[in-house]
Amino acid sequence: MSPPAPHQAAVDLIHRCIERCGLCLGLVGLARLRVAQVHGCDARIDAHFLSLIDAGFSIEKLVLVSDWREAGAALQPQEQAVLAWAEALARRGSTPAPDTLYQEVLALMGQEALVGLSLAIALENALSQSFQTPAQASHRLQPHLEEKDRP
């Protein structure tokens, strides 16, 4: 058996780091789903949606992810923070994630979990974008972000 391709070895290493960070893997799954939604990657959206259902998430909760700001108390504060951080890191352009958001997420989950979450989001950014056709890529952010949040 031949060794895995270099990119697969890197993906495997990142997954092991994420698993060891102490963050609930369900929260990581929500972040991955949101990043795939931001990028409009249907294949990855479907895969994460099904994976989260298999992990015990209700369909009712998962349909809230795309409009999580409107979900109110249906999402826990940690879930909301994870989704906000996922969106902040998934955005294109030179605007960094807001420091206030960083401090909020850090306070809710700690440094090691935040690093693991950020790694998961960065990996999902790369994977969701690699699944895009040129036509999908040109429209990736527009339908998923509120008008004030668009670049």
Cα–Cα distance, 38 to 45 (Å, whole number): 10
User: What pLDDT is recorded for position 93?
Assistant: 63
Closest CA to 57 of 23, 78, 29, 85: 29
Amino acid at 71: A
pTM above 0.85, yes or no: no
* pLDDT for residue 22 is more than 90: no
Rounded to an integer, the average pLDDT of 27-35 is 96
Cα–Cα distance, 110 to 95 (Å, whole number): 23
Residue keyed to tokens 């479907």: 46
Residue 58: pLDDT band (50, 70, 90) is: very high
